[in-house]
Amino acid sequence: MIKIDGTKQLYIHNPQVFGFEESIHAAGYAMATDIETFTTDLETGSKRFARLGKTEVSSGHPNFLKGIIVQFDITTNQQVFQQLLRYVFVVPVSSTSKMHKGASMVRRYDPYTPDECIEVVDKYTRLLYEAEERYAENRTVENRLARESAYLTLLSSFPCGLLATMRVSTNYLSLKNVVNQRKHHRLPAWKEFETFVRTLPGMEEILRDDTR
């Protein structure tokens, strides 16, 4: 068991951004008179990105932000994951699994998880190992059912403060929407999420007017 020090509830690693320049170029298609000769220089692209990117998500003008794809690993608790995955354009790629490795994984908890909850998980982990040993020694129906019961009990004992890691794929428009909707949320993890989003190329510019 590892309990994270401090107050952080969220960690983001390995971010990657795709389609940034291409999407800014495509944002000018609506005003192109000849698509074969249409070009975008750095100055024009920067102005277009800032002008359209700052507009309201619902206006349709920042739609080009959908083409700027962002992927990253996010480590946080179950409460944040439940809220994050409500956004349909935040798509899970893969994640750590309590189902597969709940008993043997290195378990990390956010700093607000009560020690009593962690002790309960440790207790049911020991009971599961004991049940597995009894079944390995004597493969009776009774021992098999006891092992399955111990396994399900362990899964149900994990607190919301257990940290999991998931790689997600999303886009700039969805991230802009998430930050706008969660900027005043009570969970401190959302402020940490906003801080990350603002480190992405250009994001500080397009969030400047509508999230402070």
In tens, the pLDDT along 124-147 reads 999 999 999 999 999 999 999 999
Q: Over range 41-57, report the average pLDDT.
A: 84
Nearest alpha-carbon partner for 176 in 206, 202, 212, 201: 206
pLDDT value at residue 212: 43
Please report the beta strands in 81-148, taking only residues with DSSP state E, as ranges in sequence order. 91-95, 108-109
pLDDT digit string, tens, across residues 147-181 = 999 999 999 999 999 999 999 999 999 999 999 99
Q: Which residues contact 124 (CB under 8 A, 6 or more apart)?
A: 150, 153, 154, 157
29 has pLDDT over 80: yes
Question: What's this model's pTM, rounded to 2 decimal places?
Answer: 0.86
pLDDT value at residue 209: 57
Residue with tokens 């998931």: 166
Tokens of 8: 């952080």
- Per-chain mean pLDDT for the chain: 90
Tell me which DSSP letter residue 97 carries: -
The bridge status of strand 10-18 relative to strand 164-171 is unpaired
